[in-house]
Structure 1
């Protein structure tokens, strides 16, 4: 429906909007002609996704308002599913997407009972702005198959999980995506702040704050052998994580990591390792000798600085002989435990 307002001698056209207050109204709203759909104080039944995937027309704005909640059930999720083209997804002031993760947390993460991931996103030519996700049971944002999408001012707030048994609550997981930007956002969680995996190109992670988790990770050679290329992680703060930044490939894995840049990264009170570049990940940790097959090339570490706590390690590197063309400029201090550094390309000076 088109709404026309006559003001000061001018005829103004305002996009029609509809407010959805229960899940039963949602399908009709998506099929209507309203350009703005406001989801307010919705309670989503257990075992069901808030479906912003089917029948959502290009050009639609979806607003989250009030408190969005979900019934409890042990399942994979996601709690919210967003898919489409030319969409504008907005979090209105005061809203919260409340996963109430404490109902699932058991100190075991993926090894415990089934826990739903929170928000699955598969968008093209779209914007996601201002969403506040609180206490996700498992992963926060699963970004998969996205192209030309901007995420700005996102808040993934799982700080309650530090004392209530949360685990494997990654902030942003990205795979199979092109030209995705995550900017001016904050993650407080119990796993990777950013977990960037295979088949990604031109991903930008700018001016974000990561607190309490496992740092920023680029992960190659895990399952899908498609390459990871042109990754820019810039102007971020990593605070009280166990790892600051890392690039890791799986032992025996295939693929390519090329053109990863970490620039102007501040590390604060890192407990384990400030900068970690590893080619021997297996069963959840570094094990044995690194293998060729997923080379780390054109890696730039520039102005990565800050502190590691006394029992930690400033820099640790274990990579195979196919690593090449690295540029390194870091100043990470404080860690007293020296760990191995081997496999760096010739001519690269790393302060291990």
Structure 2
């Protein structure tokens, strides 16, 4: 063995009285602090310093082999370091990501490619994804979003919105941090690696009304199909966190999404499928400055014109904390329609409301065939909340005759405790919300509940086994009967998607 080789020097640690087994996974200074070097002979101290430096180099940018579950596996693989990436948290990697995407896109028709992001902090501006591609973040890999506005190119506003959500912006908005358009088979996953949007500067500019264009989302994929976003930690998005738009066949799994409570981080919705179909969201933990999940389909006349609904969505095993917003919101931008939504086995803690419907005169569209079961809530302002008076509009051209249709809304097996008010259900005069069903609902009130527990106007429906007793517009139709609200028994196509075991 060469006396100057890395292997020889590692082996020599045994002679120095150090256990080197597994050293590559440890902080070098926990193995041998500098204070201990003073007690060693000069040559031994130099050997230990060599190993400390070596381990320091290995701990950043090192790609280890591993396996992960994914919809598709890839034939080709590369590390970000091969394109000049530097994971020191300071060096910009924007060009490294762009070079990687340009190069790996060449393998789209040859088994696809995966880009491995090793441990380290990889600062970058906005970058675009490609088809038949996997972005994989290893454990302790952190992709940091640049805080320079110039690192986020301006792109057209969404056709179904007609303007930016924050500001009109002359028909433009900032691109999302990680962006994809017209893609097939794209995967963002990892060993719980982190994507940090570093949104504080964007939040401050929003509060100070200094934005000409709408803030970036963290991840936005448009006009695409076969999308997987899984096993990642997503932090501090400038605005909405995960935003698939005009897309289908979407699997979102195992995400931890964190942002400070509102008003610190305004509009940091966790997951917002927008004019999307065949979507599966499961096993996610979300702490949000806005709705944890919001199902959308465009804004007023723009959404009506595009006419692309969000439909065939299943949401399972999601835990939400959002003191000022909802576990799951339907709307308020729902002008293309929201239909066939299946929500089950979810938990809300210290959250303003459960499943909330938000709409208004001028929205048009519909929210119908909504099915909710097995929801647990702790410390809530409202359990049920529907409003037809959510008045934000894109401009002055909204049609006041465009009335939304809200129908066939089903809740069953709901348990809640420490609740301030059971229900605030406000339909639209001349356009009531109909077909509301609630069964097997048990709600415990807080120590200081509101005097009025059920506020019901312009709604129609029925209940069975609901405590406290509902309002008169929701009479008990199940007394003495084995009655339960509907929940579909068929499976959506996205539920049959099986993940493969892929390697890197």
For the superposition of Structure 1 and Structure 2, which TM-score range results when normalised by the shorter chain? 0.7 to 0.9
**Aligned counterpart, 2:104:** 29
CA spacing shift, 1:107–1:164, aligned 2, 3 Å: farther
| 8 Å Cα contact 1:109/1:138 also seen in 2 | no
2:331 and 2:444 mapped to 1: Cα distance? Answer: 25
When normalised by structure 1's length, the TM-score is 0.81
**Aligned counterpart, 2:444:** 333
2:388 and 2:204 mapped to 1: Cα distance? Answer: 31
Deviation per residue, 1:128-186 (Å, 9 max, x gap):
2212111112211112112111111011111xx23992221111112111101111011
When normalised by structure 2's length, the TM-score is 0.58
Matches within 5 A, 1:209-288: 209-213=319-323, 214-215=325-326, 216-219=328-331, 222=333, 225-270=335-380, 272-283=381-392
Query: In the TM superposition, what is the alpha-carbon distance from 1:125 to its structure 2 partner?
Result: 2.2
2:463 and 2:455 mapped to 1: Cα distance? Answer: 16
Alignment match of 1:149 (pick from 250, 253, 272): 250
| 8 Å Cα contact 1:105/1:164 also seen in 2 | no
CA spacing shift, 1:42–1:327, aligned 2, 3 Å: same
Give the secondary structure class of the aligned counterpart of 1:340.
strand
1:236 and 1:171 mapped to 2: Cα distance? Answer: 15
2:246 and 2:105 mapped to 1: Cα distance? Answer: 22
Higher strand proportion (structure 1 or 2): 1
CA spacing shift, 1:16–1:263, aligned 2, 3 Å: same
Give the secondary structure class of the aligned counterpart of 1:253.
coil
Higher helix proportion (structure 1 or 2): 2
Query: In the TM superposition, what is the alpha-carbon distance from 1:326 to its structure 2 partner?
Result: 2.4
Matches within 5 A, 1:1-352: 15-20=75-80, 21=85, 22-26=96-100, 27-32=102-107, 35-40=113-118, 41-45=121-125, 49-52=126-129, 56-58=130-132, 60-65=133-138, 66-74=141-149, 76-83=174-181, 84-93=183-192, 95-106=193-204, 113=211, 115-122=215-222, 123-158=224-259, 161-162=260-261, 165-198=264-297, 199-213=309-323, 214-215=325-326, 216-219=328-331, 222=333, 225-270=335-380, 272-283=381-392, 293-309=403-419, 312-320=420-428, 321-329=431-439, 330-334=441-445, 336-337=449-450, 338=452, 340-348=455-463, 351-352=470-471
- Please report the RMSD computed on the Cα atoms of aligned residues, expressed in angstroms: 2.8
**Higher Cα radius of gyration:** 2
Give the secondary structure class of the aligned counterpart of 2:330.
strand
Query: In the TM superposition, what is the alpha-carbon distance from 1:189 to its structure 2 partner?
Result: 1.0
CA spacing shift, 1:171–1:180, aligned 2, 3 Å: same
Query: In the TM superposition, what is the alpha-carbon distance from 1:80 to its structure 2 partner?
Result: 0.8
Deviation per residue, 1:275-315 (Å, 9 max, x gap):
1022222139xxxxx99821211110111221244xx3111
| 8 Å Cα contact 1:133/1:157 also seen in 2 | yes
**Which runs of no fewer than 5 residues in structure 2 stay unpaired?**
1-73, 86-95, 153-173, 298-308, 394-399, 472-504
Give the secondary structure class of the aligned counterpart of 2:188.
strand
Give the secondary structure class of the aligned counterpart of 1:191.
coil
| 8 Å Cα contact 1:110/1:168 also seen in 2 | no
CA spacing shift, 1:291–1:314, aligned 2, 3 Å: farther
2:384 and 2:461 mapped to 1: Cα distance? Answer: 19
Query: In the TM superposition, what is the alpha-carbon distance from 1:24 to its structure 2 partner?
Result: 4.6
| 8 Å Cα contact 1:260/1:299 also seen in 2 | yes
Give the secondary structure class of the aligned counterpart of 1:29.
helix
Give the secondary structure class of the aligned counterpart of 1:281.
coil
CA spacing shift, 1:156–1:19, aligned 2, 3 Å: same
Query: In the TM superposition, what is the alpha-carbon distance from 1:79 to its structure 2 partner?
Result: 0.8
Deviation per residue, 1:178-218 (Å, 9 max, x gap):
10111101111110111111211101111111113511110
**Which runs of no fewer than 5 residues in structure 1 stay unpaired?**
1-13, 285-289
**Aligned counterpart, 1:7:** none
1:141 and 1:120 mapped to 2: Cα distance? Answer: 6
